[in-house]
Structure 1
Amino acid sequence: MLKIYRNLFFLGLLNFSVFLQAQVVRSVEGVSITVSNLKSAIAFYTKVLPFELDTVYITNDSFLQSLYNLQDSSLCTETAQLRLGDEKIELVEFHSASYRGRPIPSASKSNDLWFQHIAIVVNDMEKAYKILEQNNVTHVSTMPQTLPVYIPAAAGIKAFYFRDTDGHNLELIQFPKGKGNPKWEKYTDITFLGIDHTAIGVEATNTSLDFFTHFLHLEVAGESINYGVEQEHLNQVFGAHLRITGLKATQGMGIELLDYIAPPGGMPYMADTNPTDVWYWLTKLKVDNVDAYYNLAKNKGLSLKSLKLTTLNKALNGISKAFIVSDTDGHAYLIYE
């Protein structure tokens, strides 16, 4: 009898181990960004920036209503899939009779909680910045900044914030030798290399980490406390003092949490946000068992944004089943298999 109980116990541990392994984000596949005009957005990302256009497609299937929880039979999306190096992003224009997309608020700042950007890696900041200057790109930073030696984790990193035609924040980043993903060091003759991470504003790092490490099972890859004149000029936030936490999955780009210790007053993520709003970003996470993740999200009482776990009528860009969930600050994630 004791042997039977022992076997059942180890069988239970094995099943629990398999259950945990099934709920791991395999890859941060990219981001999907809502735009007001797809044609204009494509022009910016492929002519000002050197993204390559892979495909453009229209989706008007009924599963959109379930996935985005937008009850409108006229709902339709036009999507452009773009690539820079190994990384991909999507630009999405929504068409709806019932939901009108709103522009990014003109008073948006880098310490607002709806803030999100992608960090585009370059190997020559001066050359990359000159291209942006020649195209009259809207600055957020006063000019490219080199982070100082008193920030050990970030010392020597060059960075510059700017905006696309809709006002989405973007970053150029150049890593000094020995910092960042080693893959960026293998390029020598290409100016724009790929996307290192997407960064999001958070209210409290420790609260956010419960979502990212206990639900998504991402790994903390690094931390830094950034402050000083260079950081102020980079973010255009006077007195900027922030805690930065880098997260990673097994594959794909990283996710970076930006927690402003100072100054206070960053605006919260707007509770009435819809995917049609231009400040809406969707970070795409590939998993092996989306059903297990969906059940876990329900059991943990997380904020599910889809009407239900949605099966696509036909696989779309490698997605057969998916749902959207938001983190504690309101940022949205597409979890799919």
Structure 2
Amino acid sequence: MTPNTAATRIAAIALGCADPLATIRLYVQTFDCQDTDTSNECRLGELRLVFDQATAPGLNAPPSNSTAFQHCAIIVSDMRAAMARLEAAPGWTPISRNGPEHLPAASGGATAFKFRDPDGHPLELLQFPADNIPEPWKRPSAGPFLGIDHSAITVSDTDEAIAFWQELGFQVTDRHWNRGPEQARMDGLNTPDAVVEVTTLMPAGGAPPHLELLCYQTPRPLLETSPNGSPFATTLHLGDAPARNGPPTDPNGHRFRLLQA
């Protein structure tokens, strides 16, 4: 199938919260998010974060290898300073088992730490190696938190997911494997080793943020979907994407919303 060439972009990411205003305050105080003129939004770097009222309980948070899993990766310029800010914040819980994990060069060589905010949303702090910082993240900043690089979703079949997101104007720019005990510890998985196929999908309208597909081989993916209204029912707001028939979810139930032009 020929990829759609619409100038798709990820305009916002929507998160369900028990108390949206309290979550906004936490993000502003901890991650240097900026308030906007809209009461249920703030901005992290160039991306809008929308905090909606959750209407269903969170219940059990999906693990990294569940197809209900979706995280946002926050780029930091200084992991030690970012962790100090996070450690001073209330209510969060770690996903990564041993603190920030330095991944091997074969997995990109970045340093990463995954955790959940008080609502249970999975987040990742990500610091690129000094000799391999992507151009969008070379700009100076007053604090350690630079912006959101991507939203990562766990899928059961990479090829099926690629075909779906291509119809919405995303294009594959990288496809590789991350593996090893470092990956397992970072992802908080109860296994001595982890193997995951990582696929980068760039929106034709430009990034950041982009979309990342995670397809676990070890351990195998858990086929789960978060219920509507759950804090884990994260929704991508897509601007300038082509119209399509069918439900606003991908084959594994990850949600999106097409914004009106």
**Residue of structure 1 aligned with 2:38, choices 53, 56, 59:** 56
Query: CA–CA distance in 2 between the matches of 1:107 and 1:183?
Result: 32
Query: CA–CA distance in 2 between the matches of 1:55 and 1:113?
Result: 34
Partner of 2:258: 335
**Structure 1 residues 1-337: aligned runs within 5 Å:** 24-57=6-39, 80-93=40-53, 101-106=55-60, 108-136=62-90, 137-142=92-97, 143-149=99-105, 151=106, 153-155=107-109, 157-179=110-132, 181-187=134-140, 189-213=142-166, 215-237=167-189, 238=191, 239-249=193-203, 250-252=205-207, 253-264=209-220, 266-270=222-226, 273-274=227-228, 276-287=229-240, 293-294=242-243, 297-298=244-245, 303-304=246-247, 325-336=248-259, 337=261
> How many positions carry a matched residue from both structures?
252
Q: Is the 8 A contact 1:103 1:166 kept in 2?
A: no
Aligned-residue Cα RMSD (Å) equals 2.0
| Identity among equivalent pairs (%) | 28
Whose helix fraction is larger, Structure 1's or Structure 2's? 1
Amino acid at match of 2:41: Q
Query: CA–CA distance in 1 between the matches of 2:215 and 2:255?
Result: 17
Q: Is the 8 A contact 1:154 1:224 kept in 2?
A: no
Gaps of 5+ in 2: none
List per-residue Cα deviations over 1:300-319 (Å, max 9, x = no partner).
xxx32xxxxxxxxxxxxxxx
Q: CA deviation at 1:25?
A: 3.7
Q: TM-score, normalised by structure 2?
A: 0.89
Q: TM-score, normalised by structure 1?
A: 0.70
Q: Taking CA–CA contacts closer than 8 Å with sequence separation of 6 or more, which of the two structures ends up with the larger relative contact order?
A: 2
Q: CA deviation at 1:42?
A: 1.4
Query: CA–CA distance in 2 between the matches of 1:265 and 1:251?
Result: 30
SS at match of 2:136: helix
Amino acid at match of 1:138: T
SS at match of 1:203: coil
Q: CA deviation at 1:44?
A: 1.6
Q: CA deviation at 1:177?
A: 3.3
Gaps of 5+ in 1: 1-19, 58-79, 95-100, 305-324
Q: CA deviation at 1:105?
A: 2.9
Query: CA–CA distance in 1 between the matches of 2:94 and 2:23?
Result: 17
Greater C-alpha Rg: 1
Q: Is the 8 A contact 1:54 1:81 kept in 2?
A: yes
